[in-house]
Amino acid sequence: MHQPPTFEVDGDAIREERMRAGLEISDLAERAGISRRYLSHLENGTRKRMRPSRYAALRTALNATDAQLLLAPPRNHPDKE
């Protein structure tokens, strides 16, 4: 089955950017249109991959760059490489 490209994010960097922006986790989640729980999982490393639309919304809400938030460039499912 084909998997869409995903972005591997750095949870520590997300947390740092959120704190730098002076946002609570619930505030950032609302701005990015994602759940607080999902954002918490990203920040603590339980989840590392995001779909492009969610990642773009988070990056925009943080006013951050790919270099600040990503561990690796976007990629397809490992079985398809």
Is the pLDDT score of 65 beyond 60?
yes
Is the pLDDT score of 79 beyond 60?
no
pLDDT of residue 72: 63
Dump pLDDT digits (tens) for 36-45.
Answer: 999 999 999 9
HSE-up (13 A, CA, CB side) for residue 24? 4
At 81, the pLDDT band (50, 70, 90 cuts) reads very low
CA dihedral (63, 9, 72, 3) positive or negative: negative
pTM of the prediction? 0.83
Burial label for 14, CB within 10 Å (0-12, 13-18, 19+), is buried
